[in-house]
Structure 1
Amino acid sequence: MSKLLNDDVKEMLTNILKDMVDEVYVKVYVDTLTCETCTETHQLMDEISELSDKIHYDLVETHGDKTVGDKYGITMYPTMVVLDKNQEDKGIRFNGIPAGHEINSLLAALVDMSGKPLDLDDATIEAIKAIDTETNIKVFITLSCPHCPGAVTKAHRIAMLNPYVKAEMVEAQTFHEFSAKYNVSSVPKIVINDTHDFVGNQPMEVFLDTIREAA
């Protein structure tokens, strides 16, 4: 099987991952009976994990058993769950392969989850921590979208800082029926609590204002 990452890309990713502070654990849920991108997703995570000894991952093959992912609420495959050094769930999900431009949001999630201080000012951090209702953020993306990783990373950082929040990337082409349900016609499209949405890699203030409106 040919490698997904060439030597130049590996060198670039290794330099980014040097910023990791603590260990990070990733659960990779696949169902190779029905999933077209599961094998490639497994391979991508395998190659990335070789670039840092702080990255650990487990492959979870469901073999068609939809209850296997119940612990983390997994309903789509492939899905990655990113856990902290204590293997605690902070609500970070990648539904679909985070390849193409989206590899940037995967790298950001790994580095951020490792404990590197987030690039957010104190007022923004306080506003995120003030969220006090259960909140779900879906960020619909395509792998060719250059603006999507920034939106995914904003959503993930909100979840990392607040236990009420779950933030998930959704690869729109892989999950086209699910995307159609939310009328995704341009990306990134951000859907909050299934009731409020906006399009584009908007400033963090827009994310927070929409979360308040959707509460």
Structure 2
Amino acid sequence: MNTRLLDDNITSQVRDAFASLEQPVKVLFFGSQEGCQYCGDTQQLLEEVTALSEKLTLETYDLQQDAETAAQYGVDKAPGIVIAADEGGEVLDYGIRYAGIPSGHEFSSLITDLIQVSRRDSGLSEATRQFLANLTEPVHMMVFVTPTCPYCPRAVVLAHQMAMESPLVHAEMVEAMEFPELSSRFGVSGVPQTTINMGKGTVVGAVPEGHLVQELQNALAR
């Protein structure tokens, strides 16, 4: 029997937070047998979290063995997580992704996302919703984080809110130390760093909603 990752205190807090869950949420986990240091812990973490509410269900896949499903969701890194709405067994994919274990401060991002998706409402301002409604081309954001960064969850949750609001937005938390090649490629020297459309835009720090919208506009104009 594995030692639990969540102690009684955290478990109690999460269970209390999940009292506000409204609609069912599906969590898809993609692991790998090929050199994935944190896959076991990530799967266990998700099992413990989703067990705390009947409104949460977890599906587990292997990146290689279930390559077709991974491709369907655009997951190419392990551990990988998709958080989606569960509409009567049908998966409504908002484009919310995690690459790496959501541990440390990022655990709060995971819990916030689950609650947000259960409400089926991004919680964004009307101005931001209008901007996203008028998008005509895809936006891909990678938010580089570390578990010890206290400001990173704000950046992750904001990107995920935008993904939830628009079918053209795809937003992925990337744990910088688990994916050093990606961090190096995009010049990550501090976190959080949000990389827009594979480097067309870069935002360093946890910025307000309006600031990120401006950076997205700038990146799309390039």
Please report the TM-score for the alignment, with normalisation by the length of structure 2.
0.92
Deviation sequence 1:24-43 (CA, Å, 0-9, x none) = 00110000232000000000
Query: What is the rounded CA distance, in whole Å, between the counterparts of 2:69 and 2:129 in structure 1?
Result: 34
* Whole-angstrom CA distance in 2 between matches of 1:90 and 1:15: 25
Q: Work out whether residues 24 and 55 of structure 1, in 8 Å CA contact, stay in contact via their aligned partners in 2.
A: yes
Q: What amino acid does structure 1 have at the position aligned with 2:195?
A: V
Q: Unpaired segments of 5 or more residues in structure 1? A: none
Task: Tell me the equivalent position of 1:174.
Answer: 178
Q: RMSD of aligned C-alpha atoms?
A: 1.5
Aligned pairs for 1:12-161 (under 5 A) are: 12-63=13-64, 68-86=69-87, 87-115=91-119, 117-161=121-165
Alignment partners' CA distance in 2, 1:200 and 1:135: 19
1:92-139 CA distance string (max 9 Å, x none): 000000011001111111111112544433223222322221100110
Give the match for residue 201 of structure 2: 196
CA distance in 1, matches of 2:77, 2:123: 30
How many matched pairs? 215
- Native 8 Å contact 1:134 1:165 kept in 2: yes
Q: CA deviation at 1:68?
A: 4.9
Alpha-carbon contact 1:4-1:44 (below 8 Å) kept:
yes
Bigger mean CA offset, 47-56 vs 66-75 = 66-75
Aligned mates of 1:44, 1:119 — CA distance in 2: 26
TM-score by length of 1: 0.95
In structure 2, distance between residues paired with 1:124 and 1:97: 29
Q: What residue ranges of structure 2 are gaps of 5+ in the alignment?
A: none
What SS does the aligned partner of 2:119 have?
A: coil
Cα drift, residue 74 of structure 1: 1.2
- Percent of aligned pairs with the same amino acid: 33
Partner AA of 2:179 in structure 1: F
- AA aligned to 2:215 is T
